Amino acid sequence: MKTQLLQNTDACIITSNANRLYYTHFDTSNGIVVLTKNKDYFLTDFRYIEEATQVLGADFIVKTYDDESLKDTLKGILKNVKTVGIEEEIFYPVYKKLIEALSGYEVKNISPVLNILRSVKTDEEIALIEFAQNVNENALDKIIRMIKAGISERDLSIELKYQLLKNGADGFAFEPIVAFNKDTSKPHAKLGNLKLEYGDVIMLDFGAKYKYYCSDMTRTFCFGKCEDNEKISAYNLVLKAQTVALDHIKADVPAAEIDSMVKEIFKANGCLEYFGHGLGHGVGLDIHELPNLKQTSEDVLTQNMVVTVEPGLYFENSFGIRTEDLVIVTKDGVRNLTKFEKKFIL
């Protein structure tokens, strides 16, 4: 990774939490990683200096800094350096301080290289994501047994979070989406207090986090007997679109091509207007990473990328359907980490 980052710069500075964690495997709320041709540095404040020295001492020169000393600290490290790479994913106050401290250096954006490096997962990363996905499945298996008439979205969300933690999650990849009936027409529905009735659609979109790595899945159900042919047809069409996408994903295929296949299916069935988001996204330390599976994406799928495949149809103020699997891109196809059955009637 260091060699690739330093191809076009003399030094790199990493400040974002996820990228800092990715490079150091050390979780802090404060820290600056400085990579140079010869040595690597970890700058942090008083709170983490002892632990950083113990954990990173063999691989990094650990230094303490504050806002006043940052410029002098960096100048001491960046002797004989002309070009410095920084990220674009950076809070403005941090960016402002860095730019002031790097006055006189040529500054380049290293985010494109960092994002591509992170998009291809190691075997160790895949193992952590797979564990997080297994947590999802175990939690969902418990949750569907708790679903009953009269339960509220809020109460089911609380139970889902509890089951994720009980089954091994360190936390949540994102705030779970638990939606009933007309709330399911909102792709990112906010948690409400609707109570479940027979015939209602239920959408559950959630992800566990394990050792900092995320998982993601969605299942949509109809509670009890479904007599609405429109709902059944929409569910079957979404499932068909997802199956086509899963059958065509493999290494060296443009991500936009997969998204277009799904949109063509919806277009042929007269419902493209009800699918307004991209087909999927990469998953790793962040819940949304490269690659992007959408029509404007320039990403090309690569072996060991981990992506979601989540087509959906959303009928305003009525109902929505989404099915989401988490898969590993392979040379010849995918390895699907999502084993939970796709059964509409619950």
Count of structural domains, the chain = 2
Identify the domain boundary among 74, 103, 119: 119
Identify the domain boundary among 103, 119, 135: 119
Residues 228 and 214 in one domain: yes
Residues 115 and 127 in one domain: no
For residue 22, give its domain range.
Answer: 2-119
Answer yes or no: is pLDDT of 286 > 90: yes
Identify the domain boundary among 73, 93, 119: 119
Question: CATH code at 93?
Answer: 3.40.350.10
Kindly list the distances between the CA atom of residue 194 and the CA atoms of 111, 141, 169, 178, 312, in Å, as whole numbers in the listed order.
Answer: 42, 22, 27, 10, 21
Residues 145 and 111 in one domain: no
pLDDT tens across 45-95, in order? 999 999 999 999 889 999 999 888 899 999 999 988 999 999 988 888 888
Residues 26 and 52 in one domain: yes
Residues 213 and 309 in one domain: yes
The pLDDT assigned to 292 comes to: 97
Residues 103 and 146 in one domain: no
Share the mean pLDDT of the chain.
Answer: 95
Residues 113 and 157 in one domain: no
Answer yes or no: is pLDDT of 214 > 80: yes
Kindly state the average pLDDT of the residues 89-117: 90
Residues 9 and 148 in one domain: no
Amino acid letter, residue 297? S
Answer yes or no: is pLDDT of 282 > 90: yes
The pLDDT assigned to 94 comes to: 84
The pLDDT assigned to 80 comes to: 86
The pLDDT assigned to 157 comes to: 98
Burial class, 155, CB count within 10 angstroms (exposed 0-12 / middle 13-18 / buried 19+): middle
Answer yes or no: is pLDDT of 227 > 90: no
The pLDDT assigned to 255 comes to: 98
Contacting residues for 291 by C-beta, under 8 A, at least 6 apart: 119, 255, 281, 282, 297, 299, 300, 301, 302, 305, 307
Question: CATH code at 150?
Answer: 3.90.230.10
The pLDDT assigned to 335 comes to: 98
Kindly state the average pLDDT of the residues 319-345: 97
The pLDDT assigned to 34 comes to: 96
Answer yes or no: is pLDDT of 5 > 90: no
pLDDT tens across 141-164, in order? 999 999 999 999 999 999 999 999
Kindly state the average pLDDT of the residues 112-116: 94
